[in-house]
Structures are given as C-alpha cells and as structure tokens.
A and B are shown apart, each in its own frame.
Chain A
Amino acid sequence: MDLQFDSETYWNRSSRAAFSFDDEDEVDLAPDLASNGILADDTISEASFNNSATLNLSIKSILSEDALKLVLQEQALDDRVLPKGVSPEEELKLLRRQLQSTLYSPNLEATAQKLLQGKTAPLEMFKSLQEKQQLLDTLLAQGGGHAVITVLLFLKRTLNALQFHAILRERPRALEQYLSYLKESGDLASHIELLQRFGRHQEAALKQFQAALASGDLGTRKKHLQLLADAYATAGVGIIPLYEQVFHAALKMQQLMEKETGLGKLLRAQPTPVEVLYACCQANSNWKEQDMLKPISPQRFAADQQISAAQYEWTALNERAQAQAYADLECIFERVPSWHPLKTKQFHISFDLTLAVLRLYELQAPSTVLQLFLSKMGNSGEKLALARRVKCIRAVIDAMAGLKQQQELQQLKDTLPERSEEQFYCENALKSLQSKRWTTDNIKLKL
C-alpha cells in the first residue's frame, strides 16, 4: 500500500477518520485490520507536534558521542553478544572473564548492576544459601526495584518452601515486593495463602471478600460471601467491626437480590446499597406506614444495611422528587421522637435544610413543596435569601413577615400580578403584621 504521509491528500483523507488514534473510541478493529493499518487513517495531527521542527537542535549539542553510546549500550538488554572488531587477545580475555563469572565465582556487584538495568544476567551460579541471601540483600540495599522480584523468583525455584519463607520472614520489604508481584500476576490463591502464612489475616479476608464480590453469578457470590462471613467470625484472629459488618451487609444484600427479582430489573449489575435503596423507594407504595416486616421497605432496608439517616433521607428525597410524588416527602421527614413514642410526629432532617431546598428546586418541585421545607427554617434572614434564590414567593412573604419588613412587603405586593393567589397571600401577611402590631395579644395571653 502506498502511504503518502506528507501529501495534501493524505491529510484530507485522514479527516474522515474511520479509525481514531484516540484510545477512548471503542472501535471494533476487526474489519479494518486486514485492509488498513492505523496510519492509513489516523487523526494524529502532524501540525500539533511541531517540536521537532522548531527545535533546531542536533543531538550532538546535547550529548557527547560517548554519552550517547553509553545510553544506547545501556538500553540493549543482552550484552552477552561480543563486540565486533576486537583483537583476538582481547576477545580471549573477555571470554575468560565471562567463563569465570558463569562457572565459578559469581560476581555480586556486576550481577546486581545488570539486573537493575533490566539486562539478562545468569543467576544459576548463586548456589549456596549465603550467596543467594547476599544477592538479595545487595539489591534490597540498593533500592532493588524489579530486580528483587527476579531474584525472589529465582530463590523460589531453587529453594524449598521452608527456606524461601524464612528469607521472606526476615525481610519485610522483600515480602511486600513479592506480595505485590503475586497480586499483579493475578495469582490470588497464592497471594491469600502467603498473607495468611505471615499472619496478615485481615488483608487476606479483604482479598477473599474482593474475590467473592467479583465472581460473576449471584449463586457463587452468595456462597463465597457466606463462607467468608462464617470463617471470619470464627477464625479467632480478631475482628475489625467494620469488616464484619460489611461482609454481613453484602451477604444480606445478595440474599435480598436473589429473592426480590423485581428489584434487580430496576438496577444495573452489582449495585451499591444506596442504589438498591433507591430502587426500594421506587417500589414502595406506602410511605405513611412503612411495613418494617418487608425487607424491601426502604426503612427496613436502610436499617438492615446500616445506611445512615442522612443517606436514607437524601436518597428518598431524590427518588420521590424525581417521581414527582411530593406528598410523600412529608412522611420521610416525620419522625416520632424516640424518647416519647406517644408524642405526635415531628419534622426532622439530618442534613442542612438549604441543601434539601436547593435540590428540590433543581428537580423542579412546585413552590408549595419548597414552601413546606422553607417554613421549617428558623432564621428568617437566611430563609428570605434562600426563598428568593429558589423563587418561592410565598416563602419570601413568610420570611418578610417574620422579619417584620412591612415596607418591603408592600413593595412586593405591588409587583405581584393583580388578584393572583400570591397577592392575596401577601395581603394577608401584611394584615396580620399590622393587626399584631396594634393588638395586645401578648399581654392578654399572659393575663
């Protein structure tokens, strides 16, 4: 295929971009693969990379020739290849040295340095336990990096499990590296086994939990969670209350999802507790008296999952407002005071009222609903500001009345449309304000 990179036609053609160089586009490669490479139709814009064009730099001005040679030489992974053009004597010397280091005495420093550079270095001649440990310790002291893992893999291959674990036990940093290797390689079983061997049961439990949640179908997920929850409680290695609680909550939720298949339809795969709560709210029809015996009644579910009051209220508020079932909102925020169950219900909210009002406004709740929430605000000044922000005139009037702003009320009344409900409301507020001023209600009451 003839690719004309720099010609006009190429760039024009590239604009139709069947195929983007961008990694966000999930393009199916298959049909294009055989016929077209990316370059034939990419969208890299040559114009945006003018660095090299304007740089006007030569490599020589940056690096000396020796330095560049060194850089390139260090980049080569396999330097066992003999350099070309050396005299026979030198070649003999080189070979002798290599033989020496492969067969007899291992060269600690050279090996460590090679490994650090990522080069291949033979490890087989590190035979004795002491040599092996020395090699590992040298690398650990130097900061090690991936070379430590290389050596650990070598040790695992050439030592029995007892020795290998003894080495790890004495070197916590090596253990960390090895664990990280196991984790990345996806060898979950060995990872968990090693964690448990070294007494890190909490981390092992977390890993098992992770694995259980990741399993695809509901049945196995439930089974694994059940096993884990039981084992964790009885293992006798101490428990972290949070872990225990989350394990149980996850199990309970799986059981619920299994029973209530209707809920699943409302949700994406692997929903979070709050998302399930949202679905419960959607499914709930009786907000006045929630049936606490039904596991999918929102309040019961929230209690089972230990969802905080604030989270419960916020979720329900959002769901009911989205569903435009504003009448239910009152039930959510009404609470029988626990210290006196016979007392009438009281309004109670677990987060800032302002946030509730703003969210309701955002969800286009009618102004009567906004007024209901605004009426619960104590501070009339704040109430006035907020009411203005959400354009709830009645609440503005209430707040003004609360602040005894007669003049402002009068002005407001004049701007309201003639004979509208709001105007009447405003008029009433004005009247009550005036009448209150002249009567002696307060004194009478006291008498």
Chain B
Amino acid sequence: MDKKLQGFQLVAQEKLCSILGSIPGKKELILEPALIKPLEHVFTASWLKLKGIQRIYKHDAAQSLPRSSDQVHIYMIRSVLGTFQTLLKQLESVALEEMADLSLKMYHIICVPCCYSYFQTLLEQSGLWGLVQLHHFNWDFIYLDQGVLSLELPNLFECLYLQGNTSPLPSVAQSLRLLQMICGQPALIMTFGHHSAQLIQILRALGKLPEATNPPEYGGWLIIDRDKDYPATLLTPAIYAGLLLEVFDQRSGEIVVDNLKNKISSQRVELLQGKKPKVGPNPSSKPCSIRLNSTADEIYGDNRYKRFAQVSSLIHAQVKALGLELQKLNDMQLEEMHDYVARKLPKLTELKTKVLRHLNASEIVIQMMVNFRRLQTLEEDILNNVSRKRLLAEIDELMTTDGQRFNTLRLMCLLHHCAGVTPEELQIFARNFCNLFGHQNLIVFQQLSQAALLPPLVAEKKVPATKLLSQLPLPKFQQTEFQANANRLKLLTSCGDGQDGANSSTKNQAGGMQSCPSYVFNGTYIPLVAQLCSILLKTNNAEELSSKLTMIEGLHLHMDGGKITPKAYANQVKVNGTADQDVFPLRLRNLFVFVVGGASYAEIAACDFVAKLTGAQITVASDSLMAGSDLIATAFTH
C-alpha cells in the first residue's frame, strides 16, 4: 500500500508534464520560494530540465524578471489572492509594454493547488487576458513518511476556521477523489464536523469515477474537522516527533535545526530573554536539517513515536556505542584497518553524523522546554478542570516570566476549550498580552473567537442579560461541549474516577510499557481520531457502533445513499433485517484518516499505536502537519 501512496508523486509528475507540454517555446520557470520545498518531493531539477525547462528562478515580489523576446515565462505560485494580485501588477508593467502578439502566450501562471475561478475575472480586469494564461496544478498527497501524507497547504486552517472562507475545499476534495481512484472506494466513510461532511459532498458533485481496476485498499475513511478535537494540537506532546515540531520549524517533512534560533526562542520578547545564548566556538555553524522520514533516517524511524525522555537516553547511548566502535580502529592491525576503512567506516561515519544531528536536536529541545514538567501538570489540570482560578493565575505568571507569543495564548485557548473562559477573564488576559506583544495583536482575539478557541467579546450596551449571567460563577455541574464529548468517548484518562481497565496507562508508564494511546500526552488524553479509529476497528455491528457513538452531534456515516447518523444506520440495518450487509465488522482492516485543518504528530503516533494494537494499518493525512503554536500562529497573519 505504501507503494501506491508514493505513486501520487508519479501522478503529480504526469499532471505537471501535461501542463508544460501544452506550452511551446523556450521555457523558464519562476517559483514562489515557499513552493520549493514541497516541490522537491514531486520532481528533481534534472526532471524539469528533461521537460524542457531551461532555467529556474526564485520569484521575487519586489522585482520583476526581464524576459528576452523568445522566452516563455512560467510562474508558479500558491493560489492566494494577495500573491496573485501582486504578480498581476508586476506583469502588467512588463507585459503590456511589449504589445506582444496575442496568439503567442509568453506568460503563464500555474496556481497551486487550484486556480480559483475568479482569478480569470481578475486577469481580465487587469487587462492581461490573452497575454497571460492560467493553469492549475495540484500535487495532491505528498508522501512524507510511512503512514503520513500531507497536502502541504499551509493556509487551510486560517481560511476555513478563522475566516469562514471555503475556497480551498474543492481542491482538497479533488485530492480525495484521486485517492479514490488509486486506492479504491472504501466500504464506509465517517465524517465528524461540518467541513468534513462538505468535502464528501463536493466529492460527489465532482462526478462519477471510472471503474477501478485495482482492489480497494482501505476499509474505511475517517474525516474529521480540526475544531472537533483542538486538544490534540493544543496539548504539548510527549513524543519525539511531536516535540521536534514544537521546537523546530518544519517544511514539507523536514525540520531545520539551528543552534541560534528556533520556534520557541523567536516567540519571546527579545529584551526579556535573559542571558543571550552563548555563541559556540563555531558561530558560522550552518543550520542542518533532519528529514522526518523513516527510510531516509533510520534513527528517526526507530524513535519517532517513542516518548521523548526515552529517546533522549537512547540517542546518548548510541553516541557512546559509536564512539567505542570507532575507537576500535586504534587497536587494529594494518591489514584489518584497511578492510575496516574500506567497508565499515563510511557507513559508521554516516551514522555518526546522523546520530549527532539528533543529539543536537534533542539537546536543544531539552534546553527550550525547561518548563516542560510544570506545563504538563498545568495542561493536565486544565483538561480535568481542576481549580480554575489557579489555572488563570498560572497562565498569567507564565506569560509574564516566560512570555511566548503563541504558546501562552495556546494555553488560554486550551483552557477555554476545556473549561470555558468568561469574557471578563479574557479581557484581563488580552490586556496583558497586548502590553507584552504589542497593541496590534488586539485583532488576534477576535480571530480566535471565530474558531471557538476563545470566547467572543460582546459590546456592553447591547446584551446586558448575558453580562449578568457571565458574572455569576459557573455552576460546577455545567459541562462544556468538550467535556461532554470527551466523557462520552472516554478520552480523558487521568481524571481518576475509575476508568475501564484499558486506560490505566499512568501506572504502566514506569515500566516503559504503554497500553493506551494517551501515552502521546503523558497519559492524560487520547486524541479523538485515535479513539474513533479504535472504535471503528473494534466494532462488530452497526448497533454497537451506534451505542458507542450515541449523543455525539455532527458525526455522520456516508453510504451509497448519502449522509446518515450511526443511529439511523443501525435502525436501517435492523429494519431491513440485512445484518449480513452490515459493514461492521470492517472486512478490510485498513483505515484512512484525514484531518481538515492540520494534524499533529501526537495524533499520528496515537493512530499508529492503535493500528499496532489491532493489527490494522492506519494512514493519517492532512493538509499540513502542525504543532499547537503553528495553529495559533495562523491568527497572527493579518
């Protein structure tokens, strides 16, 4: 199956090839810089050369590229309105002067992943119709690692959840359609959330598929909206891959390890950073990168979903062992040495550089996560809603003494999502936040309230009634939607009121044995996708599914006939007496999971764990992979 998923690359190549093939002339490609990394997963420079591209440039928004009369310029940009408009302005000044022959199109713009239909309107309005031709190119799923796919669409969360702009959805549906062509139709599609259901609707609207030639690979698809499970990104993960993403910038399955700056240090106010990190003996030491791919990097592959503490000691041990191995060289005879140098040494030195890279990375993680333990306790208390007053005070203290632009806000969002924050409490927090990070961040709070990550602030005059209500202390028994759902699905594993046997992970942690997917959050929380996967895989009939998922709003099954709730499905099976046609238990035990709005490594690891436990295979895909701070950061791009 992994082979097939890697095959997306071939399809992407075919697609691009057909675009390039349709353009005659001496071609030059001008790429938006942000596209380069993901494109490296699709083709190589020599492939482009083979397809007739003579040179490649990096697009510079501030400077237009001169073109000699016989060249064709092909621009490749993301379908973001702002970028498109700037490019059009740039071309306006060049192309219109040339008064070129309209029959020869010398300028092309390839929009990734989709050419929005109104781009044509804008092209016409700017007077470039006929001079510039538009194309679109969707690379679909990029195979980042075993069991991990990404569409590499960085702005999807912002568009869908913060702005209510569904523009990118059709292209996501198209990618899912291609997945259906490659891996066959699943017996069951389950969606949770508005956008997920809509994706399936668009998928249907896009038309029928040709008969599949290959047997289906997946027994079921699970598509969920990010806002149905915020904690899975907002909580700090305890696993290696997750923490790497917390600290280092990730681009298309690759992280950049820089000794001088990283994701966490750049969130702080510089003046209050305390002592500057000492510049090492080699200040010009180049930042190196680690590919988060288990075939390219076996050390990553071995450790990616293990607990960080465990990994860090494993790596230390490995460094030691390698050192010993290399020391052997000193005690060898000349003959032996020749042989050793020729055969083993290159491999060893390669391994050594890799291990050292991981060692360096994990040391920076330790250095950056000084508050880790305190943070974990705080997050656990937030999840279980223990003493709210103190939680707010602690968040405030963290902001004052170790203010991290995104991570502090992230805790507040988590608190709101789990236990609810009143507008008054938010106002105090927001004032302190703006004082620390600048007044221009005021809009961020409005943005996050759009995604239900924070409470909306309401003008005083309009609704005196709600104000009165909010002044009353929240009664103890009032549950937030999160708490209700989390209890129904048994996601909280550390609250201690007698969970069933499978969830006693905290006791087993000491032995390094994990029996529950909540290990990804140190035994406090099971990511929703993992729990749903395990329900899907363990369920024996429709009735059982319906009882496990009762009272959960927004969850739908998509059969041939359309959208249906689990309960209705169970009834249907019962009434028709067609128990033998029940899709449960799933015959094909492979699941495809898609998270609309960014998946976290904790989720991926938890799914991997469930898969191992149940002997299934689970592929997790999303539009991008992100850590909690990335999610919060989307509210800051205004």
Contact = CB atoms under 8 A, between A and B. Distances in A.
Given A118-B170, A143-B169, A352-B397, A242 B115 contact: no
Contacts of A57: 3, 6-7, 10
Contact of B166 (A42, A145, A239): A145
Interface string B181-208: 1100000000000000011011001110
B505 to A, nearest CB: 30
B521 to A, nearest CB: 25
A308 B117 contact: no
Given A42-B45, A143-B202, A272-B436, A246 B11 contact: no
Contacts of B10: 52, 55, 57-59, 62
B63 A30 contact: yes
B134 interface: yes
Interface stretch (A43-51, A292-300, A372-380, A388-396): A43-51
B459 A59 contact: no
A44 B40 contact: yes
Contacts, number: 327
A118 to B, nearest CB: 5
B165 A177 contact: yes
B82 interface: yes
A238 B459 contact: yes
A40 B55 contact: yes
Contacts of A6: 46
Nearest to B49: A5
Contact of B121 (A59, A153, A237): A153
Interface in A203-257: 203, 206-207, 209-210, 213-214, 237-243, 245-246, 249-250, 253
A146 B446 contact: no
B118 interface: yes
A238 B117 contact: no
B498 interface: no
B447 to A, nearest CB: 9
Contacts of A63: 7, 11, 181-182
Contacts of B165: 176-177, 180-181
A146 B118 contact: yes
Given A59-B10, A67-B181, A351-B400, A311 B55 contact: no
A348 interface: no
A352 B121 CA distance: 59
Interface string A130-156: 000000000001111111111001100
Given A52-B9, A202-B459, A143 B201 contact: yes
B317 interface: no
User: For the complex, would chain B's binding face be called helix, strand, loop or mixed by DSSP majority?
Assistant: helix
Contacts of A30: 63
B431 A246 contact: yes
Interface in A4-52: 5-6, 21-23, 29-30, 33-34, 37-40, 42, 44, 46, 48-49, 51-52
B318 to A, nearest CB: 22
Contacts of A116: 170, 202, 205-206
Contacts of B11: 59, 62-63, 68, 71
Interface stretch (B267-275, B477-485, B533-541): B267-275
A325 interface: no
A165 interface: no
A311 B14 contact: no
Contacts of A21: 36, 58
B313 interface: no
A237 B4 contact: no
B57 interface: yes
A149 B450 CA distance: 20
Contacts of A186: 82, 85
Lowest 5 A-B CB distances belong to which pairs? A37-B55, A238-B459, A23-B33, A176-B164, A238-B461
Interface of B: 3-4, 6-7, 9-11, 14-15, 18-19, 28, 33-34, 36-37, 40-41, 43-49, 54-58, 60, 63, 65-66, 80-82, 85, 114-118, 120-121, 134-138, 143, 159, 163-171, 173-174, 178, 181-182, 198-199, 201-202, 205-207, 209-214, 269, 271-272, 274-275, 291, 296, 396-397, 400-401, 427, 430-432, 434-440, 442-443, 446, 457-462, 638
Given A153-B121, A363-B274, 6 more contacts: A38-B58, A51-B41, A121-B117, A209-B443, A214-B440, A308-B435
26 contacts: A3-B49, A33-B66, A42-B45, A52-B10, A52-B44, A55-B9, A67-B181, A67-B210, A68-B11, A117-B170, A144-B169, A145-B170, A146-B117, A149-B118, A179-B164, A202-B459, A203-B446, A206-B446, A209-B439, A214-B440, A240-B460, A249-B434, A249-B439, A270-B438, A271-B438, A318-B272
